[in-house]
Structure 1
Amino acid sequence: MNALTTISGSFPTDEDRRLSALHALNLLDSEPEKAFDALVAIAAQRFDCPISLLSLIDRDRQWIKAKSGIEVEQTDRDIAFCDHTIRSDQPFIINDTSKDPRFAGNPFVTGDAHVRFYAGAPIHVSDADGRHAIGALCIIDDKPRSLNDVQITALTHLALIAEALISARGAAQEALSIAESAQEQSRLLRRQERVFGQAERLSKIGSWRLDLRNDEIVWSDGMYRIHEIAPEHKPDLATALDFYPPRDRAMVSTALDRTIETGEMFNVEVDFVTARGRRRRMRSSGELEIEKGKAVALVGVFQDITDTHHIERKLRESASTDEVTQIANRAEFNRVLEAELQAARAGAGLVLVLIDLDDFKTTNDTFGHLAGDDVLRAVGQRLRAPYLKDSFAARLGGDEFALLLSDPDLVATAPAVIERLLEHLKSPVQTATALLQMSGTIGSASPGPGIDTIRELMHAADVALYTAKRTRRGTAHAFTPPRPVTD
């Protein structure tokens, strides 16, 4: 036992209270959960780090609840970087571990893991004894690096989302437990209803029971609040299902039928429209109620997760968007290009357009990077012009852009569309300090014989681009496959 965990006297220490709060969550050694796995995956994408973890610091160990890029389940606490993170309310960052005397000899630094950069933000929970740091959300790289203020703030926000997920998880478990107990222990009903009502309001949760003998539905107060209808309106099954759009209604009906048929618990996320017409995102879970070996009802909980869903969606969008131009980044471009190639193999049309800005380095060197960013933003806007309907635009890096033409009309008239784009790119850009002239050079290619993969299509468009550059900057060239040699 190390100095951090030594208990002196009979009074609980801050460490005792912290461990008590951690153990009360029932998170340690729990099964993987999609929400936490998605959060660490988003963190890894957002910061372009090979490893991201959500770790919990137990008495003598670090246990990893969710991970991306690593298979380690737990480590000793005395070598855990996250153990340092929980000692402060601020993010803990090591730009180069090999140069930090506290970590230079750490086995994760000297061993195969080759950890060189670490940044973690503490994760807190609150209980009657106060606020406790139970673990950290961290990102790890095998190369030294640093974070700017915006990135540090983003990491802190991700840790806050982790706290919200943990809080919602605990509240949902408590609410489900109370809902089940309410059916079985009528003598405790009043006391449980008070606690359950508080949990419902806090967590935007309601409970429900569907009697399988007569299809009668009983809702808690929370269900009426979520549906935005008065408690005197008693719902039937058909009315309850009407709150879902058709596709989601079918999903809920299928889940109910499957649980009744197999006895397996269901857990679904669906869109939902309240009685006042407000569109929300809901999580619903339910299981069979058994009496004397026979299924008599379905019982479950219903939670409004709209806010969390929006945050997760924005994070996913942020991870796939170029920060300067607000169009797609390279990773998202690769994903979409693969999907478009799949469609092209089935007969759909596709043209890949690569664009290099002419003399962009000169613009940066002469007018500064802020002016350069204005030029990049202008290009991003021009690649979303109305005449490029349904096209997909991305910044590949530096002054390189890409455009995917998949609309049949644009594919059929690709040369004219590209010429129009060339002229559009020549329009001057007004920056804060000057009106800057600009232009771009374009190479294009389409899938065909010998051009069936991302690598092959990118190479063909690159060849066309460099042909155009050799001819004259500000022009365009379309790749032409070499003619087969004949005898």
Structure 2
Amino acid sequence: MQLSAASMGNPPTGDGGPTALEARLERVRQLLGIDGALLALAGGETMQVLWHAGASAEIEGELAGLHRRAGLRTTPLIVPDIAAEGSPGFVRFYAGIPLTLGEDSPHLLLSLFDTSPRGPAMADQLAALAQEVFGGDALQRAQATIARLEAELAERERTVAELLAIRRRQMQLVDRASETARIGIWECDLSDNSLQWSNGVYDLFEFPRGAKVSREETVACYSPASREAMERARAKAIAECSDFALDAEITTVLGRRRWMRLTGTVEAENGVAVRIFGMKQDITEEKLLADRTRYLAEFDVMTGLANRSQFQARLADLDGGSGHAPIGALLLVDLDNFKQINDTYGHALGDECLKEAASRLRDACPGAELVARIGGEEFAVLLGQAGKNHIDEVAEQIVLEISRPFMRLGQSLALSASVGIACADGAPPPDLFKRADTALYAAKAAGRNTSRTFHTGMPYTVN
């Protein structure tokens, strides 16, 4: 039996009961000439002290063994001299007197103690006198107080139950919100790398919920690049006891590719990292949307070639200052008489011609830095640094590839292309474009289906 935390203070009340009982305990103590007395609920492993007179935590601790013995009895436990039992201490005399309240009620234990021993006869007389003085209406008051305490306990239990119910509802809301946002909570114990996941993480990796998963199995799901980035960020966070975050690509155990946003926080004890915890969120749809948006911003939807925006950005970096290879030449390619195809066969067939021309253009210059569609039927090719012969060969190959007949929608169509060439040789991007455009007009003036290279004798075209 252990004394409860209530041992050092009498319970508050508004009905005057405990005050009267405390006064009765004090009178018992004075009448018997002893150092202290206390009244407690007895039985079990814990004894709850209700009221006391002259007691202290140290004394109650010293008497814990005697309280345990007395609390399990139905007759008084009287020890005239504790030292005689081989347990010397500050207290020498003890009497534990059970006070029965009723057949179905818990019983009280009235305990008397003193720093001086008593003879056996005197000890029995003190116990009997204490039981007589403390009986009657005092027990009735104690019983009423116990009933009130039990009612308060029941009310506390109801309150706890309500709070637990609210907590469960809150957790259900969190789970539903996490499921909607595709978020899961994870934790890794660094002592053995054991993992704990919420359902959201299991669903993200498509492991069965609740399955025992090792870190090795999880890491194997990452793509090589994402695995390297994750391990590097994780190691740095552990070394510095800090946080980390990154987007990572995974392949689930069912073979589906997904992207997730991973965050982690390192918890440390005495400066040593002991665990990591954080969130993992499925951002596959967000990633696909971002990739699609970026694609639309940089590529021509119909042909799949780079669009004018990407072409202009690359043209502005002629010397490769942004990490690209330097540009050696610009080729502008224009489909000859394309308007006639649109007017004769309609735009649907015209679109098919544009797709075919783009495919052939790509095949004609596989080593190009960029192939782009920059207008309705106008394309551009940026070549790296190369000799004039190679540049001319590329232009001739473009003219040859575009001019081959092809069948679309039951129609045999013949296309041709004119190509204008301008070598970079230190010219700024706007001038290089004007030179290629001038050469293109020269090719058209020469009868189309051919190429021309800009030279200083050509006048600039004015658009």
The TM-score normalised by the length of structure 2 is: 0.53
Is 2:261 the counterpart of 1:283? yes
d(CA) in 2 for partners of 1:346 and 1:291?
Answer: 48
Q: Distance in 2 between matches of 1:186 and 1:307?
A: 36
- Structure 2 unaligned residues grouped into runs of 5+: 1-162, 458-463
State whether residues 326 and 385 of structure 2, in contact with CA within 8 Å, keep that contact through their aligned partners in structure 1.
no
Letter aligned with residue 373 of structure 1:
D
Asked whether the 8 Å contact 1:344–1:447 carries over to 2, the reply is no
Once the 2 structures are TM-superposed, how far is the Cα of residue 238 of structure 1 from its aligned partner? Answer: 4.5
Q: CA deviation at 1:268?
A: 1.1
Query: 1:434 deviation in Å?
Result: 5.2
For 1:241, the equivalent position in structure 2 comes to 219
In 2, the alpha carbon distance for the partners of 1:420 and 1:297 equals 62
Q: How many residues align?
A: 294
Instruction: Provide, for residues 392-423 of structure 1, a one-character-per-residue CA deviation record: whole Å limited to 9, x for no partner.
Output: 32211132111234498x99733223212212
SS at structure 1 position matched to 2:264: strand
**1:356-435 matches, cutoff 5 A:** 356-385=334-363, 387-391=364-368, 392-406=370-384, 413-428=390-405, 430=407, 435=412
Q: The residue matched to 1:280 in structure 2 has which SS?
A: strand
Match of 2:445 in 1: 470
1:300 aligns to 2:278 (yes or no) = yes
Match of 2:293 in 1: 315
Map 1:215-230 to 2 at 5 A: 215-230=193-208
Pairing of 1:82-481 with structure 2 (within 5 A): 191=169, 193-230=171-208, 234-261=212-239, 264-289=242-267, 296-338=274-316, 341-342=319-320, 350-385=328-363, 387-391=364-368, 392-406=370-384, 413-428=390-405, 430=407, 435-448=412-425, 450-451=426-427, 453-480=428-455
- In structure 2, distance between residues paired with 1:193 and 1:412: 72
- Read off the aligned partner of 2:281 and give its amino acid letter: Q
Contact 2:403 2:416 in 1 (8 A): yes
Counterpart code for 2:330? L
Larger radius of gyration between Structure 1 and Structure 2: 2
Contact between 1:289 and 1:295, CA under 8 Å: does it hold in 2?
yes
RMSD: 3.8
Distance 1:237 1:186 in 2: 33
Asked if the contact 1:207–1:300 (Cα under 8 Å) also holds between the matched residues in 2, the reply is yes
Structure-2 separation of matches of 1:347 and 1:265: 37
Q: Indicate the residue corresponding to 1:180 in structure 2.
A: none
In 2: Cα distance, 1:295 partner to 1:188 partner: 34
Assess, with a 3 A threshold, how the Cα gap between structure 1 residues 372 and 300 changes in structure 2: closer, same or farther: same
Check the 8 A contact 2:319/2:327 in 1, yes or no. no
Amino acid in structure 1 at the alignment position of 2:403 = K
- In structure 2, distance between residues paired with 1:424 and 1:397: 20
Is the CA contact 1:267–1:283 (under 8 Å) kept in the aligned structure 2? yes
Task: State the 1:442 CA deviation.
Answer: 0.4
In 1, Cα distance between equivalents of 2:324 and 2:176: 55
Q: Which residue of 1 aligns with 2:17?
A: none
3-state SS of paired residue (1:418): helix
The residue matched to 1:313 in structure 2 has which SS? helix
SS at the partner of 2:212?
coil
Query: Residue type matched to 1:475 in 2?
Result: T
Q: How does the TM-score come out when normalised to structure 1?
A: 0.51
Q: How far 1:319 moved relative to its partner?
A: 2.8
Runs (4 or more) in structure 1 with deviation over 6 Å come to: 185-189, 290-295, 343-347
Instruction: Give the residue type in structure 2 aligned to 1:321.
Output: F
Amino acid corresponding to residue 437 of structure 2 in structure 1? D
CA distance in 1, matches of 2:164, 2:244: 25
Q: 1:97 maps to what in 2?
A: none
Distance 1:469 1:379, change over 3 A: same
How far residue 285 of structure 1 moved from its aligned partner, in angstroms, is: 1.4
SS at match of 1:413: helix
Tell whether the 8 Å contact from 2:407 to 2:413 is kept in structure 1 after alignment.
yes
Asked if the contact 2:186–2:196 (Cα under 8 Å) also holds between the matched residues in 1, the reply is yes
Contact 2:241 2:272 in 1 (8 A): no
Inter-partner Cα distance in structure 2 for 1:236 and 1:344: 43
- Give the deviation of 1:302 after TM superposition: 0.6
Task: Summarize the Cα distance change of 1:256–1:188 in structure 2 as closer, same or farther, 3 Å threshold.
Answer: farther
CA–CA distance in structure 2, aligned partners of residues 344 and 261 of structure 1: 34
Give structure 1 stretches of 5+ with no counterpart.
1-184, 483-487
The offset of 1:320, in angstroms, is 2.5
Go from structure 1 to structure 2 and tell me whether the alpha carbon gap of 1:233 and 1:336 turns closer, same or farther (over 3 Å shift). Answer: farther
TM-fit CA distance, 1:225: 2.5
Q: What is the percentage of aligned positions where both structures have the same residue?
A: 32
Task: Write the letter of the residue equivalent to 1:312.
Answer: A
Residue 343 to residue 293, structure 1, CA distance change in 2 (3 Å)? closer
Counterparts in 2 of 1:255 and 1:435: CA distance versus 1, 3 Å? same
Mapped to 2, the partners of 1:222 and 1:345 lie a distance apart of 40
The 1:238–1:192 alpha-carbon spacing in structure 2 relative to 1, beyond 3 Å, is farther
Q: Is the contact between residue 265 and residue 286 of structure 1 (CA under 8 Å) also seen in structure 2?
A: yes
